[in-house]
Protein backbone atom coordinates (compact mmCIF):
# COMPACT_ATOMS: atom_id res chain seq x y z
CA UNK A 1 0.00 0.00 0.00
CA UNK A 2 2.88 2.30 0.84
CA UNK A 3 4.18 2.03 -2.72
CA UNK A 4 0.94 3.57 -4.02
CA UNK A 5 1.60 6.78 -2.07
CA UNK A 6 5.37 6.84 -2.01
CA UNK A 7 7.74 5.61 -4.70
CA UNK A 8 11.33 6.20 -3.50
CA UNK A 9 13.96 7.10 -6.09
CA UNK A 10 16.29 4.13 -6.90
CA UNK A 11 19.28 5.69 -5.11
CA UNK A 12 17.26 5.99 -1.86
CA UNK A 13 15.98 2.42 -2.24
CA UNK A 14 19.55 1.16 -2.67
CA UNK A 15 20.83 3.11 0.34
CA UNK A 16 17.98 1.84 2.51
CA UNK A 17 18.68 -1.74 1.38
CA UNK A 18 22.40 -1.57 2.19
CA UNK A 19 21.79 0.23 5.48
CA UNK A 20 19.35 -2.51 6.53
CA UNK A 21 21.73 -5.28 5.31
CA UNK A 22 24.80 -3.89 7.08
CA UNK A 23 22.71 -2.98 10.15
CA UNK A 24 21.41 -6.56 10.43
CA UNK A 25 24.93 -7.91 9.90
CA UNK A 26 26.30 -5.56 12.61
CA UNK A 27 23.62 -6.57 15.11
CA UNK A 28 23.94 -10.28 14.34
CA UNK A 29 27.72 -10.17 14.63
CA UNK A 30 27.68 -8.20 17.90
CA UNK A 31 24.93 -10.41 19.34
CA UNK A 32 27.13 -13.44 18.71
CA UNK A 33 24.79 -15.07 16.20
CA UNK A 34 27.88 -15.94 14.20
CA UNK A 35 31.57 -15.72 14.96
CA UNK A 36 33.18 -12.30 14.61
CA UNK A 37 36.26 -14.18 13.47
CA UNK A 38 34.40 -15.61 10.45
CA UNK A 39 32.38 -12.46 9.68
CA UNK A 40 33.46 -9.35 11.57
CA UNK A 41 30.88 -6.53 11.88
CA UNK A 42 30.84 -3.81 9.19
CA UNK A 43 32.03 -1.30 11.83
CA UNK A 44 35.38 -3.17 11.81
CA UNK A 45 35.50 -3.84 8.04
CA UNK A 46 34.88 -0.31 6.77
CA UNK A 47 37.72 1.35 8.76
CA UNK A 48 40.01 -1.46 7.53
CA UNK A 49 39.74 -0.02 4.00
CA UNK A 50 41.80 2.93 5.27
CA UNK A 51 44.38 0.51 6.71
CA UNK A 52 44.61 -1.24 3.33
CA UNK A 53 45.71 2.06 1.87
CA UNK A 54 48.31 2.83 4.52
CA UNK A 55 49.63 -0.66 5.37
CA UNK A 56 49.15 -2.72 2.21
CA UNK A 57 50.05 -0.49 -0.73
CA UNK A 58 46.42 -0.51 -1.91
CA UNK A 59 47.03 1.94 -4.73
CA UNK A 60 49.99 0.04 -6.20
CA UNK A 61 48.16 -3.28 -5.98
CA UNK A 62 45.04 -1.74 -7.45
CA UNK A 63 46.99 -0.30 -10.39
CA UNK A 64 48.64 -3.68 -10.95
CA UNK A 65 45.27 -5.47 -10.99
CA UNK A 66 43.72 -2.84 -13.23
CA UNK A 67 46.69 -3.05 -15.60
CA UNK A 68 46.23 -6.82 -15.84
CA UNK A 69 42.46 -6.47 -16.26
CA UNK A 70 42.76 -3.96 -19.10
CA UNK A 71 45.50 -5.98 -20.81
CA UNK A 72 43.37 -9.14 -20.56
CA UNK A 73 40.19 -7.32 -21.65
CA UNK A 74 41.99 -5.69 -24.59
CA UNK A 75 43.49 -8.95 -25.82
CA UNK A 76 40.28 -10.90 -25.24
CA UNK A 77 38.13 -8.22 -26.90
CA UNK A 78 40.37 -8.06 -29.97
CA UNK A 79 40.55 -11.83 -30.31
CA UNK A 80 36.86 -12.26 -29.50
CA UNK A 81 35.69 -9.73 -32.06
CA UNK A 82 37.90 -11.31 -34.73
CA UNK A 83 36.60 -14.80 -33.98
CA UNK A 84 33.01 -13.49 -33.77
CA UNK A 85 33.42 -11.86 -37.19
CA UNK A 86 34.82 -15.12 -38.60
CA UNK A 87 31.92 -17.16 -37.18
CA UNK A 88 29.50 -14.64 -38.73
CA UNK A 89 31.19 -14.73 -42.14
CA UNK A 90 31.76 -18.48 -42.27
CA UNK A 91 28.34 -20.11 -41.82
CA UNK A 92 29.80 -23.63 -41.49
CA UNK A 93 32.19 -22.53 -38.77
CA UNK A 94 29.37 -20.60 -37.09
CA UNK A 95 27.17 -23.71 -36.97
CA UNK A 96 30.06 -25.91 -35.83
CA UNK A 97 31.55 -23.79 -33.06
CA UNK A 98 29.01 -21.28 -31.70
CA UNK A 99 27.50 -23.78 -29.26
CA UNK A 100 30.99 -24.65 -28.03
CA UNK A 101 31.72 -21.03 -27.22
CA UNK A 102 28.35 -20.74 -25.47
CA UNK A 103 29.29 -23.77 -23.35
CA UNK A 104 32.73 -22.27 -22.70
CA UNK A 105 31.07 -19.09 -21.34
CA UNK A 106 29.46 -21.19 -18.60
CA UNK A 107 32.61 -23.25 -17.82
CA UNK A 108 34.77 -22.53 -14.72
CA UNK A 109 37.82 -21.61 -16.80
CA UNK A 110 39.67 -20.49 -13.67
CA UNK A 111 40.28 -24.19 -12.90
CA UNK A 112 42.68 -24.28 -15.85
CA UNK A 113 45.20 -22.19 -13.90
CA UNK A 114 47.72 -25.05 -13.40
CA UNK A 115 47.97 -25.45 -17.18
CA UNK A 116 48.58 -21.73 -17.65
CA UNK A 117 51.15 -21.78 -14.84
CA UNK A 118 53.06 -24.46 -16.73
CA UNK A 119 52.77 -22.55 -20.02
CA UNK A 120 53.58 -19.04 -18.81
CA UNK A 121 55.11 -19.41 -15.33
CA UNK A 122 54.13 -17.69 -12.11
CA UNK A 123 53.96 -14.15 -13.42
CA UNK A 124 51.60 -11.54 -14.84
CA UNK A 125 51.45 -13.36 -18.22
CA UNK A 126 49.50 -16.23 -16.67
CA UNK A 127 47.03 -13.82 -15.06
CA UNK A 128 46.55 -11.81 -18.25
CA UNK A 129 46.24 -14.95 -20.41
CA UNK A 130 43.61 -16.46 -18.10
CA UNK A 131 41.75 -13.15 -17.94
CA UNK A 132 41.82 -12.88 -21.75
CA UNK A 133 40.47 -16.43 -22.17
CA UNK A 134 37.53 -15.57 -19.90
CA UNK A 135 36.78 -12.47 -22.01
CA UNK A 136 36.63 -14.45 -25.26
CA UNK A 137 33.27 -16.31 -24.98
CA UNK A 138 30.97 -13.32 -24.27
CA UNK A 139 32.72 -11.13 -26.83
CA UNK A 140 32.67 -13.86 -29.51
CA UNK A 141 29.01 -14.71 -28.92
CA UNK A 142 27.80 -11.11 -28.79
CA UNK A 143 29.89 -10.04 -31.81
CA UNK A 144 28.44 -12.89 -33.87
CA UNK A 145 24.93 -12.21 -32.60
CA UNK A 146 25.23 -8.50 -33.36
CA UNK A 147 26.50 -9.10 -36.89
CA UNK A 148 23.98 -11.88 -37.60
CA UNK A 149 21.11 -9.61 -36.62
CA UNK A 150 21.97 -6.61 -38.76
CA UNK A 151 18.74 -6.32 -40.82
CA UNK A 152 19.25 -7.41 -44.44
CA UNK A 153 17.18 -4.44 -45.58
CA UNK A 154 19.70 -1.87 -44.34
CA UNK A 155 22.53 -3.84 -45.95
CA UNK A 156 20.50 -3.74 -49.19
CA UNK A 157 20.07 0.03 -48.76
CA UNK A 158 23.86 0.31 -48.70
CA UNK A 159 24.15 -1.87 -51.80
CA UNK A 160 21.69 0.27 -53.74
CA UNK A 161 23.88 3.30 -52.98
CA UNK A 162 26.91 1.46 -54.37
CA UNK A 163 28.82 1.26 -51.09
CA UNK A 164 32.20 -0.49 -51.19
CA UNK A 165 32.68 -3.50 -48.91
CA UNK A 166 34.69 -1.38 -46.47
CA UNK A 167 32.02 1.36 -46.48
CA UNK A 168 29.36 -1.28 -45.83
CA UNK A 169 31.32 -2.51 -42.80
CA UNK A 170 32.19 0.96 -41.47
CA UNK A 171 28.95 2.81 -42.20
CA UNK A 172 26.36 0.05 -41.71
CA UNK A 173 27.56 -3.21 -40.13
CA UNK A 174 29.60 -1.75 -37.25
CA UNK A 175 27.17 0.95 -36.10
CA UNK A 176 24.24 -1.46 -36.42
CA UNK A 177 25.85 -4.20 -34.32
CA UNK A 178 27.55 -1.91 -31.79
CA UNK A 179 24.91 -2.12 -29.02
CA UNK A 180 25.04 -5.93 -28.97
CA UNK A 181 28.84 -6.06 -29.25
CA UNK A 182 29.07 -3.63 -26.37
CA UNK A 183 27.02 -5.93 -24.16
CA UNK A 184 29.68 -8.60 -24.83
CA UNK A 185 32.50 -6.15 -24.08
CA UNK A 186 30.90 -5.12 -20.78
CA UNK A 187 30.45 -8.73 -19.75
CA UNK A 188 34.00 -9.45 -20.89
CA UNK A 189 35.43 -6.65 -18.77
CA UNK A 190 33.61 -7.91 -15.68
CA UNK A 191 34.73 -11.51 -16.41
CA UNK A 192 38.31 -10.21 -16.78
CA UNK A 193 38.17 -8.52 -13.37
CA UNK A 194 36.72 -11.61 -11.68
CA UNK A 195 39.26 -13.95 -13.27
CA UNK A 196 42.28 -11.71 -12.78
CA UNK A 197 41.54 -11.27 -9.06
CA UNK A 198 40.74 -15.00 -8.77
CA UNK A 199 43.97 -16.12 -10.45
CA UNK A 200 46.01 -13.58 -8.45
CA UNK A 201 44.51 -15.16 -5.33
CA UNK A 202 45.16 -18.73 -6.51
CA UNK A 203 48.77 -18.30 -7.67
CA UNK A 204 49.70 -15.73 -5.01
CA UNK A 205 50.93 -13.13 -7.45
CA UNK A 206 49.86 -9.66 -8.60
CA UNK A 207 47.57 -7.06 -7.03
CA UNK A 208 44.24 -7.24 -5.22
CA UNK A 209 43.86 -11.03 -5.33
CA UNK A 210 47.26 -11.50 -3.73
CA UNK A 211 46.40 -8.89 -1.11
CA UNK A 212 43.21 -10.78 -0.18
CA UNK A 213 45.21 -14.01 0.07
CA UNK A 214 47.91 -12.39 2.23
CA UNK A 215 45.37 -10.80 4.59
CA UNK A 216 43.61 -14.18 4.94
CA UNK A 217 46.90 -15.94 5.62
CA UNK A 218 47.70 -13.37 8.37
CA UNK A 219 44.18 -13.85 9.85
CA UNK A 220 43.41 -10.14 9.31
CA UNK A 221 39.80 -11.05 8.60
CA UNK A 222 38.39 -7.50 8.74
CA UNK A 223 41.09 -6.37 6.30
CA UNK A 224 40.36 -9.35 4.02
CA UNK A 225 36.65 -8.49 3.93
CA UNK A 226 37.56 -4.84 3.35
CA UNK A 227 39.67 -5.86 0.35
CA UNK A 228 36.86 -8.06 -0.99
CA UNK A 229 34.41 -5.17 -0.49
CA UNK A 230 36.82 -2.91 -2.31
CA UNK A 231 36.98 -5.31 -5.29
CA UNK A 232 33.17 -5.47 -5.36
CA UNK A 233 33.05 -1.65 -5.39
CA UNK A 234 35.60 -1.63 -8.24
CA UNK A 235 33.43 -4.09 -10.16
CA UNK A 236 30.39 -1.86 -9.64
CA UNK A 237 32.42 1.12 -10.83
CA UNK A 238 33.52 -0.85 -13.91
CA UNK A 239 29.91 -1.65 -14.72
CA UNK A 240 28.87 1.99 -14.33
CA UNK A 241 31.87 3.26 -16.32
CA UNK A 242 31.29 0.89 -19.24
CA UNK A 243 27.59 1.78 -19.28
CA UNK A 244 28.52 5.47 -19.57
CA UNK A 245 31.12 4.68 -22.24
CA UNK A 246 28.57 2.63 -24.18
CA UNK A 247 26.04 5.42 -24.03
CA UNK A 248 28.62 7.94 -25.23
CA UNK A 249 29.85 5.72 -28.06
CA UNK A 250 26.32 4.91 -29.24
CA UNK A 251 25.60 8.62 -29.48
CA UNK A 252 28.86 9.26 -31.33
CA UNK A 253 28.50 6.43 -33.91
Question: Which residue number, 159 or 218, has a Cβ lying nearer to other proteins?
Answer: 159
Residues 146 and 180: beta-carbon distance below 8 Å? yes
Q: How many C-beta neighbours within 10 Å does residue 201 have?
A: 19
Question: Which residue number, 118 or 153, has a Cβ lying nearer to other proteins?
Answer: 153
Query: Minimal distance in Å, beta carbon 143 to other proteins?
Result: 17
Return the half-sphere exposure (C-beta side, CA atoms, 13 A cut-off) of residue 224. Answer: 16
* Binding region for other proteins (CB under 8 A): 151, 153-154, 156-163, 167, 171-172, 175-176, 178, 250, 253
Query: Minimal distance in Å, beta carbon 172 to other proteins?
Result: 7
Question: Which residue number, 178 or 228, has a Cβ lying nearer to other proteins?
Answer: 178
Question: Which residue number, 123 or 156, has a Cβ lying nearer to other proteins?
Answer: 156
Query: Minimal distance in Å, beta carbon 156 to other proteins?
Result: 6
Query: Minimal distance in Å, beta carbon 166 to other proteins?
Result: 11
SS (H, E, C) 103-135: HHHCCCHHHHHHHHHHHHCCCHHHHHHHHHHHH
Q: Which residues contact 106 (CB under 8 A, 6 or more apart)?
A: none
Residues 132 and 76: beta-carbon distance below 8 Å? yes
Question: Which residue number, 18 or 161, has a Cβ lying nearer to other proteins?
Answer: 161
Q: How far apart are CA 203 and CA 214, in angstroms?
A: 12
Query: Minimal distance in Å, beta carbon 80 to other proteins?
Result: 22
Amino acid sequence: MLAIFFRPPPIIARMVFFTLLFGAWEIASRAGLFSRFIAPPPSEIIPAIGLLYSDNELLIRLLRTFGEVFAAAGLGALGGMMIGWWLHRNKDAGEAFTDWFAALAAAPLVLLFPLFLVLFGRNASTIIAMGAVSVLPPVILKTKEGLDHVPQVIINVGKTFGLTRWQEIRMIMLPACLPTVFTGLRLGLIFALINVVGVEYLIGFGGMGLMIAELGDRFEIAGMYAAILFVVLCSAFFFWFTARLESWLLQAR
